[in-house]
Structure 1
């Protein structure tokens, strides 16, 4: 009788990659939120109006949106590892520099802060398309919803972990300390990224059994290998075909609506607690963490629900759309905060709304399901570009609403209406969720010399 050779157990290196993505994305969102935690003290010290604060809040998103397509092009051309490293290092460096704005005064301080926020936004542009590329290359379809939900839920975990810390730093050491601490942490993380992150084919700890498992399950295991080879993409043909897809356009517009909720939370929510609910900045920092905890739990739960539905035989469309639509309908409940007086009830309603928003935030899983292999970075960048236009419009619109009315009433209605609009996109515009195929070739040269 022949000797029985035991099957080689698949490694689980993909979950280590996901853990690193989660940590990096947590720092990413914490660095975005530094300005909102420092905002009340900053606005008092520099004498800023609500409209001026809205403009400063939006500065990040102007450059973040404009640099999405260049960021996606860089990811597709040079691969995620090296592009993402420079992204982390540069956004962290310019976060540190924001701490020096206090050496300027008046209009010069405002201009300097606006400029630095622009640079941070440009540097962060490849981050989420990079997350999407790595999860698409490392995770099979039946695990991708959970993976995308976990890295996306880092936006809430960032608030849970860092909002109290940043509130304490502002209270104890002044607003400048927030930028020094968070930027320094990001610089350290960029070096860790360079050492530990690789594509599936290049990772020294991923065995053949894991590669076979994820490839059979629909992971694009050669995506990073292709990204490291200098492909020549016909950019305009690629963009035209992507934007001509009703499915993709519905996903992109839906993300704009969903991100309106995100940017309300990242920019005006702490000020809502301080100005409308008369909390101290220290208390607001801790209170803001409670809806964030709910959002984090909802985010992870949404991915788990979606992937379990796929494993039970539901189509990708049903498995992704069900949590998205149900969660965003729940998110509209934040409008009820306009009709209650108790701070405890307000926090409870906001927690419920962000729990729903977390469940519905499966857009990056949908991008992983639908993006063409030749242009995953470009498709992810378009998705992120549409979504983060909300980072421009939300702070400014709310700033004008506040200046015109002196109340957050209209602001909450505006945010809730966007959650409802996202529901309508997925119900009536997106259609079947499936991987998009180009009707005409977009790769001009397969490889560089």
Structure 2
């Protein structure tokens, strides 16, 4: 393959995986963008159906439970799909998850409305299934990106690519705002159609690695099986014990709880706190995701130039504590609300994207693996899975805290969790700062990976 062909292939892989995971995230946005509408439907008493709940508090708690159920199923499945993604072709895992997401999302949000069938067990089972298939995406997408893009400018490349999450959120909010007047059930249907079409593009357009199309010839001319060229897949326990993995798992468990709380609850918070229309709240909430894009791209670029990632992540998290405090008190002024919300996105969603993107690849390709490229999906699934487990707990606690203490107390909890996230990687940050200081004095190179080991 010539250099020009390689560049074209990389561009295609980048675009297709970016869009495909954006569609994964857009589909998750379907429920969070229509919570007020679906809650009203559950509480209504019509000739077609009896109310699913008798009071608003029960409906809100069930919505929180659904978010927690989704995140718990998603977290558990991430460990499995991450492990399996290093043993199967990741392209097919991604596509299977997209098809499964289309089916389960329609079953959850569209079918009950059309058939006037409202059942708590049914909603629980279909949303568990949705969480299970959604987990196919991230570890395998990361593995594909790692196969195609090397260490050069990794932070910037993955910072831009990881912005697929907030971009997907933005388009999910836009889709919801446009389609919502037709009925909330059509927001689920539209997202299902889009992600199903995306699965076809993934299968048709990309290869999982640069040498995939030459695999047969490589194996035929090699004295050893092809997989020995890249090492063997590793266990979850071995992945957890790799340098740096546990610290970032703990950090991500706290940070993802805060990030996904905004993902799941921001539109409902805006409608509850300020009595804004749901479609207007959906449109305003995209500023958080714009902030996430800015933080992800700039963070990736800056950490590439620094040669280290943890110092910038810690600095962003420190800033997030102040921005969360301001946002809790910003009031019903849309311009100021959008500006501060963007700042929160930069300092919360930005470092989250860096951890699950650039640092996932750093940890999954570190020197301790001795060149083994068959650990990327496993490490990525472990890192994001522990984050999702923390987020699942948070989605259960948020409605309880809000009911008892109010929305401001929720933001104070977010500030506390980000403090814990800082402490989890503070040791790593101190080591990296000492390394950078030695580099400035000419004692050594700053090009170390996130474990503190020298890169080859």
Give the TM interval when normalised to the shorter protein. 0.7 to 0.9
State the 1:115 CA deviation. 1.5
Alignment of 1:177 onto 2:186 = yes
| CA deviation profile, 1:278-328 (whole Å, cap 9, x unmatched) | 11001101111122212212211111222233xxxx3xxxx2113312222
Q: Name the counterpart of 2:112.
A: 101
What TM-score comes out, normalization by structure 1 length? 0.82
Tell me the distance in 2 between the aligned counterparts of 1:381 and 1:227: 23
Residues 421, 394 of structure 1: CA spacing in aligned structure 2 closer, same or farther, 3 A cutoff?
same
Structure 1's unaligned 5+ residue stretches are 1-6, 206-224, 438-449
Contact 2:239 2:378 (8 Å CA) reproduced: no
Q: Name the counterpart of 1:291.
A: 288
Contact 2:83 2:236 (8 Å CA) reproduced: no
Contact 2:94 2:141 (8 Å CA) reproduced: no
Contact 2:239 2:375 (8 Å CA) reproduced: no
SS in 1 for 2:300: helix
Tell me the distance in 2 between the aligned counterparts of 1:262 and 1:183: 24
1:197 pairs with 186, 200, 206, which one?
206
Residues 241, 11 of structure 1: CA spacing in aligned structure 2 closer, same or farther, 3 A cutoff?
closer
1:281 pairs with 278, 282, 286, which one?
278
SS in 2 for 1:77: coil
State the 1:42 CA deviation. 0.7
Q: Name the counterpart of 1:76.
A: 86
Q: Name the counterpart of 1:241.
A: 238
| CA deviation profile, 1:248-303 (whole Å, cap 9, x unmatched) | 10011111122112211211111000001211001101111122212212211111
Residues 357, 78 of structure 1: CA spacing in aligned structure 2 closer, same or farther, 3 A cutoff?
same
State the 1:111 CA deviation. 2.3
Residues 228, 177 of structure 1: CA spacing in aligned structure 2 closer, same or farther, 3 A cutoff?
farther
1:366 pairs with 329, 342, 359, which one?
359
Aligned pairs, number:
397
- Written as runs of structure 1 = structure 2, the 5 A alignment for 1:218-367 is 226=227, 238-245=235-242, 247-309=244-306, 314=307, 319-332=308-321, 333-344=323-334, 345-361=336-352, 362-363=354-355, 364-367=357-360
Structure 2's unaligned 5+ residue stretches are 44-57, 215-225, 433-447
Q: Name the counterpart of 2:441.
A: none
Tell me the distance in 2 between the aligned counterparts of 1:18 and 1:122: 25
Tell me the distance in 2 between the aligned counterparts of 1:258 and 1:381: 16
Tell me the distance in 1 between the aligned counterparts of 2:228 and 2:332: 53
Contact 2:29 2:172 (8 Å CA) reproduced: no
Tell me the distance in 1 between the aligned counterparts of 2:330 and 2:135: 39
Q: Name the counterpart of 2:129.
A: 119
Tell me the distance in 1 between the aligned counterparts of 2:154 and 2:106: 34
Tell me the distance in 2 between the aligned counterparts of 1:436 and 1:340: 39
Tell me the distance in 1 between the aligned counterparts of 2:255 and 2:228: 29
Q: Name the counterpart of 1:422.
A: 421
What TM-score comes out, normalization by structure 2 length? 0.80
Tell me the distance in 2 between the aligned counterparts of 1:436 and 1:428: 11
> Could you tell which deviates more after superposition, 298-307 or 8-17?
8-17
State the 1:394 CA deviation. 1.9
Structure 1 vs Structure 2 CA RMSD: 2.6
State the 1:382 CA deviation. 0.9
State the 1:338 CA deviation. 2.6
